[in-house]
Chains A and B, each alone.
Chain A
């Protein structure tokens, strides 16, 4: 898999590149700011671009804007955004452009190599990867919503994993249940939340995230 990496801190950039290289990925370019990142993406046309959110010059949301721009220029480009902390508005801004091939993870998640590689492969394949911490925050904030209370604890777990972008079999593996059980839970969830059912993972993620986001904002 060919990867472009953009991170302004040189030590961290080298560290992640080292990790990816050791795992057999091909880091074709390393960028230190948004401009260089976009140039590298245009030149190398990678399978996935990993972008840090805070980069020079303003150190606010350069990575997000670069991600949006890169996906505009190269439709279908998979982008994984790494953030030092969970900024809810960033997540929603990113996701508003569609969740396919999009990931938003905390930087330290890269240290959990297996999970990180899973997320990376999922995103590169057109799926979604949302950091569990982001999802957890979405849940705590929409605590007021009575409809979420209707869900059983197991269903909440499934909903959480759906929001992170996992597919059915991945959810089944994580929760140590059968695929059929997961399928049943998901149907119940959609029914209880009054969402129209869909089996397509990406649409599911979008629907769930949108739902959670709306109930958060309605607070």
Chain B
């Protein structure tokens, strides 16, 4: 019969319709919050160290490429350099590509510009090549240093923290701390090294994310497509997504038309038919007429309920009444899996963006409830830099794949229609992360 919109779950009054009910408080206790903060910090530090190590590798390679380019430049007058030039330029571009890929893995996408020319004369004046050169210079110096520290710090931390366990094994007079000052002769001295280890750990936990960001900054700034290049790429991207948007729009309209037609219209025709039959009966057989009128009334009530659900599936009234935060906490409360929301959006976005965010979260939570076997879910929404960032996580069995069901494809299409981005990380065994970004509009 009618396509039931994905978001209409229960028939009981949802929180949005009782104006006096406050939004449900987050279920976590303060102890759990502290534990979560610690876990989060450690995870962030771990990721940062890994990122620094990766950056260290590319920095070493950058040093090599710079050396090669230097040789090319020096031998150019002799002619050898001219032959070497295409090779070294290609090496530079390949390395820049690797760095872009690495940065893509650990953060937002770095859009690559058009592949630059490799012929020397053109390359000398090409903006992309020059930016890549500047990047290589920065990365091979600052990036190398930061990466080196990123590799060294954990090692030092481990060494100094565990020093009292093995200092006896060192030869007499060997350096006792990782920074090479003093030497330990007694247990007291050995224990005094411990604070140093703790210090390294503190530095890692506190500073490594910033260090990783600092190391990545030249790459993000210099390796992304420049503003003018970006524009033509964006036009191509927009043309592609415009087609997707029109398609999504047409599908939405068809869905609304079908819901209205199949459900509501048929309901009203039934009312008409029953009323006509009742009128025929009313003189001769009032009881039968009354029964028909009862059925007509019930059909009319059905029609109203269908209309309500159709209008909810176009633009949920709850968004107007309680804003995105309220609407999402309503969804979380209705979700079969215990769900926590964390919405920090200081300014309202365009209605279509908020509606899309609402439907994306609704579909995501439906998928979680149906397929993931999760015990908890969280919805985090932030507004940063004119973009709305959605994150839906669950601790379920993962393995979410787009070809398996229509849930993810629907989400992807809604997001593409608004020119947003979607990333789903769902390894087998879980957990699953769904990250979407929409321009605030």
Asked if A110 contacts B276 (CB within 8 A), the reply is: yes
Asked if B281 contacts A15 (CB within 8 A), the reply is: no
Known: A59-B258, A84-B261, A111-B276. A15 touches B288 (CB 8 A): no
Give the residue among B273, B276, B299 with the most A Cβ atoms within 10 A.
B273
The answer to whether A199 has its CB under 8 Å from any CB of chain B is no
Asked if B277 contacts A108 (CB within 8 A), the reply is: no
Q: Which residues of A contact B261 (CB under 8 A)?
A: 54, 84
Interface size on B, residues (CB 8 A): 24
> B228 to chain A: closest CB distance in Å?
49
The listed residue (A11, A18, A54) touching B277 by CB distance below 8 A is: A18
Known: A59-B262, A84-B269. A15 touches B299 (CB 8 A): yes
CA–CA, A11 to B275, complex, Å? Answer: 14
Which A-chain residue is minimally distant from B277 (CB atoms)? A19
Give the residue among B272, B277, B281, B292 with the most A Cβ atoms within 10 A.
B277
The answer to whether B340 has its CB under 8 Å from any CB of chain A is no
> A23 to chain B: closest CB distance in Å?
7
CA–CA, A8 to B281, complex, Å? Answer: 26
The answer to whether A112 has its CB under 8 Å from any CB of chain B is yes
Asked if A110 contacts B288 (CB within 8 A), the reply is: no
> B91 to chain A: closest CB distance in Å?
58
Q: Which residues of B contact A15 (CB under 8 A)?
A: 270, 273-274, 277, 295, 299
**Majority secondary structure, A binding face:** helix
Q: Which residues of B contact A23 (CB under 8 A)?
A: 277, 280
The answer to whether B265 has its CB under 8 Å from any CB of chain A is yes
Chain A contacts with B in 2-44, Cβ cutoff 8 A: 8-12, 15-16, 18-19, 22-23
Q: Which residues of B contact A175 (CB under 8 A)?
A: none
The listed residue (B258, B269, B277, B292) touching A12 by CB distance below 8 A is: B269
Which A-chain residue is minimally distant from B261 (CB atoms)? A84
Known: A22-B281, A111-B272, A113-B280. A11 touches B265 (CB 8 A): no
CA–CA, A113 to B265, complex, Å? Answer: 19
Can you list, as one digit per residue, whether each of A65-87 has a CB less than 8 Å from chain B (1) or not (0)? Answer: 00000000000000000001000
Query: A interface vs B, CB < 8 Å?
Result: 8-12, 15-16, 18-19, 22-23, 54, 59, 84, 107-108, 110-113, 116
Query: B interface vs A, CB < 8 Å?
Result: 1, 258, 261-262, 265-270, 272-277, 279-281, 288, 292, 295, 299, 302
A-B contact pairs, 5 of them (CB 8 A): A10-B1, A15-B277, A18-B292, A108-B268, A112-B276
13 additional A-B residue pairs with CB within 8 Å, beyond A59-B262, A110-B273, A113-B280: A10-B1, A11-B266, A12-B270, A15-B273, A16-B273, A19-B274, A23-B277, A23-B280, A84-B261, A108-B269, A108-B272, A110-B272, A111-B269
